[in-house]
Structure formats: C-alpha cells, structure tokens
Chains A and B, each alone.
Chain A
C-alpha cells in the first residue's frame, strides 16, 4: 500500500459528503422559515452529488455516468428551487409571513 496524497483518497470525499448531509439534516429540523429549510435541502442535494461523483471517480467503470447523473441532479434542484420560491412568494402574499410557526391553518 503506497502512500497516496489526500485528494486521491475516496474516504475523504465520502466523509465530506456525510458532513454535508448531516448539516443539511440539522438545518432542516432546526430552521423555522421556509427559505431556511430550502437552503438546508440544497445542502442535502450537494451531499448526494458529491457522493455520486466520488464513487464515479474511484469505483465506476464508465466515468461519464456519474457526471451526467450529477448534472441531472443540478437540473432537478434548479427546478425545485423555482417551484419552492414561487410557493414561498404565494404563501407570503397570503399570510404576510414565511415562518413555519404561522402556517398552521390545516393543523387540527
């Protein structure tokens, strides 16, 4: 086992991916506004992308598949952001607030 430089170790990338996922999960539970939760969701998307690219680089036989997959994830994330932000604007127009505490009309 020769000594590899740190950027050739798959474990480092997987560790950063796990950290991004944990940070996104923490934000998703902890945030009290819709936009904050959206940002935490974007962190989770990034964690998935980084994981896929790390496996693509170190394990996959066809190195284009992972790149295309991550490209499609980026497209879906952009679509999701557009939809969520328009919902946020509509909710703000209705309730004058985007805090999750105030959006409890359906609660029994």
Chain B
C-alpha cells in the first residue's frame, strides 16, 4: 500500500516531533509558575499544532495558526504581562489550601482526559463514502465567499466590536485623567 516505507518513516518522525512539541508546550503552559514561561509554552504548543494541522491536510490553517496565535495572541499577552506584573507570589496562599486545589485540579483534568481518551479509542471512525471536494486552499476560498459569506462578515463585525470595546475598557477616560 505504501510505496516508499522510508519516506513514511521520515514523515512519522516529523509528526512525532510536532506531537512532542505540542505536548511539551501544553505542559509548560499549564505547569510553570511564572506567567512569561507560560506564554512561551503557549507559543510552543501553537507551533506544534500548526505542524499537526499541516498533517491534517490544512496548510492554510497551519499558516493562520502561526500568524494569529504565535504572531498576535502571544505577543499581545506579553504586552499585558509587561503592563501588569502578574507573577504569583509564593507565600501568598496557605500551603494546605494550595495542595488541596492542586489535587482537585489534577483529579478533574485526569478524569476528563481518561474519559475522552477512552471514548476516542473505542469508536472505529469510518471514512466518508465520498468527498465533495479536495479541501484545498482554492476550495476553502470558494466556500468562504459563497456558502459561508454571512459568517465571514459576522466575524469581521465581531472583531470590530471587540477592538472598539477593548479600547473603551482599557482607556482611563477623560474625567479620570
């Protein structure tokens, strides 16, 4: 079935590198105590996710993931960290309460992961009988401007309103100056 087994092995190796990048980035983002390291973990995680998107036959989304998440979201969060010093002080919380919350968080997330992983492993996902198109970038562009044009315009309105709202909230206002 596979004509070039060596090529498949190389591809599997690249895929595993992206997988490890995603997992390591998520762990760094969730576990590190300093917020700036957590942002770096998020950027790493999005880098790996872009690779996974490429393996899922969506090169356009891989590019957008890099552009929006690594380029825009992480940089904006870094700006916010510079403006508001968010580092958690170690001595602020009592020891017992912290351990209790840790255990509760670990229990909840572990339970969710176990359930979802079990569910994903149990079902045999059947491929569709026929595909309507090849899912390439021209097909995505055509769908974006024909079938989903209303959603596309609504997203632009949402982004505009969000930017205006962010400006209104973050600005101190004339009376307080």
Mask, A64-87, CB within 8 Å of B = 1, is 110110111011111111110111
Contact A89 B56 (CB under 8 A): no
Contact B166 A62 (CB under 8 A): no
Q: Which residues of A contact B (CB under 8 A)?
A: 2, 5-7, 10-27, 29-30, 32-36, 38-40, 42-43, 46, 49-50, 53-65, 67-68, 70-72, 74-83, 85-93, 98-99, 101
Query: Contact partner of B80 among A2, A49, A55, A89, CB < 8 A?
Result: A89
Q: Offer 27 A-B interface pairs, CB within 8 angstroms, sorted by A.
A: A2-B1, A7-B11, A12-B19, A16-B19, A16-B22, A23-B26, A27-B29, A29-B109, A30-B102, A36-B38, A39-B39, A43-B45, A50-B52, A53-B56, A54-B56, A56-B56, A57-B57, A59-B126, A61-B128, A61-B129, A61-B131, A77-B68, A79-B162, A81-B77, A90-B170, A92-B84, A101-B93
Which secondary structure dominates chain A's binding surface?
Answer: helix
CB distance from A44 to the nearest CB of B (A): 11
CB distance from A64 to the nearest CB of B (A): 4
Residue of B11, B52, B128 contacting most chain A CB atoms (<10 Å): B52
Tally the A-B contacts, defined by beta carbons under 8 Å: 248
Q: Which residue of A lies closest to B39 (CB)?
A: A39
Contact B104 A29 (CB under 8 A): yes
Contact B58 A67 (CB under 8 A): yes
**Residues of chain B lying within 8 A (CB to CB) of residue A26:** 30, 105-106, 108-109
**Residues of chain B lying within 8 A (CB to CB) of residue A62:** 131-133
Contact B86 A68 (CB under 8 A): no
Which secondary structure dominates chain B's binding surface?
Answer: helix
Contact A35 B35 (CB under 8 A): yes
**Residues of chain A lying within 8 A (CB to CB) of residue B110:** 22
Contact B15 A7 (CB under 8 A): yes
Interface positions of B from 122 to 155, Cβ below 8 Å from A: 125-135, 139-140, 142-144, 148, 151, 155
- In the docked arrangement, what's the CA distance between A78 and B16, Å? 28
- In the docked arrangement, what's the CA distance between A89 and B77, Å? 11
Q: Which residue of A lies closest to B132 (CB)?
A: A62
- In the docked arrangement, what's the CA distance between A74 and B16, Å? 24
